[in-house]
Amino acid sequence: MNLAVSSQLGRELLVTGREADFAIRRRRALKRVDKELSRGNFKAALNLVKQLQGKPKGLRGFGATKQVPRRLISMDELELNAVELSSIRSLFDSVMDSIESCSRFDSLDEVPSDRVESLVEDEGYESLCEEDYSMCMQHEAGHFLVGYLLGVLPKGYEVPSTEALRQDEFAAGRVKFVGFEFLKEVYIPRMLKTDIGQVSNRILNNFSCIILGGLVAAHLVFGCSKGHHSDIDKLERVFKWLGYRKGEAISQVKWAALNTVLISHRNSEARSRLAKAMAAGRSVCLCIETIENAIHGKEI
């Protein structure tokens, strides 16, 4: 082996060693996050994640996704080539068709409820075939991934097993996030409310995209979606709580759908790996590590 080859090999081994060391450090830090989440110390867990956010070999993806400007009113303004634009437009149209098929934006009527639901508690999947189970996994991974990339920390999740789906057609998955405490107020009966709800634009934008993440993921993989009606119902409840009119709600949904479509389309591999990790029951932070490993070197 000549000197030049030996030197190159030495540098490669040094880089590999450093990367392994960074991976170990990140894994240790994420274990601390998992521990805080398991104890219900969500603020402490979020602070730990923020300390790793954007750091070299830390958490590159958390809150780092490129988003569609809120002012955008035409898909043609997107900086995409003709092929990408055609694909995105088709996906966006399919997603909007699904939303409109179960929405009540015309009235935004109050929907009675006697309990507070989690952020994303999806409807059961009617048939019992393997494809339905796979769709369920992709759906929940879609919620998780979009939230994480927007900078909203998942604090826990549940996914039904194949056996659970066989025994109960209404078995549901769910993903819970840190920072959406306002949802508790959304489900307070109207007669107990004194005024219109309030939430920041940033939180509403994040919530709108996360709630659509499952629907978009299913359309990306299967070309259709099941179990998304409860997601749209939750979104409508929030609009009603905020006092939104039909035009305001539709504008918010169109932007959120387009933003979520683009985020999900760019990060399909991460979502696919994440779905497998969630199906295997990995901890929240091992799921986060799965995302980080999948987006290495890619536009987020």
Give the per-residue pLDDT at 77.
Answer: 79
Take residue 273 and report the two structure tokens written for it: 């790996």
E-assigned strand segments in the chain: 120-121, 154-158, 174-177
Structural domain boundaries in the chain: 3-52, 75-294
Query: How do strand 174-177 and strand 120-121 relate by DSSP bridges?
Result: antiparallel
The model's pLDDT over 136-178, given as tens digits with 9 standing for 90+, comes to 899 999 999 999 999 999 999 999 887 777 776 666 789 999 9
CATH-assigned architecture of domain 75-294:
Up-down Bundle (1.20)
pTM: 0.85
The model's pLDDT over 227-258, given as tens digits with 9 standing for 90+, comes to 678 899 899 999 999 999 999 999 999 999 99
pLDDT above 70: percentage of residues in the chain: 80
Give the per-residue pLDDT at 13.
Answer: 43
105 Cβ partners below 8 Å, 6+ apart? 236, 239, 246, 249, 250, 253
Give the per-residue pLDDT at 214.
Answer: 94
Among residues 33, 29, 82, which one has the least CA distance to residue 283?
33
Give the per-residue pLDDT at 81.
Answer: 78
Take residue 89 and report the two structure tokens written for it: 């437009």
Query: Which residues does the chain have with pLDDT short of 70?
Result: 1-20, 73, 103-104, 106-129, 168-171, 190-194, 227
CA distance 97 to 103: 10
CA distance 212 to 256: 8
Give the per-residue pLDDT at 169.
Answer: 62
Give the per-residue pLDDT at 155.
Answer: 96
The model's pLDDT over 212-227, given as tens digits with 9 standing for 90+, comes to 999 999 999 998 877 6
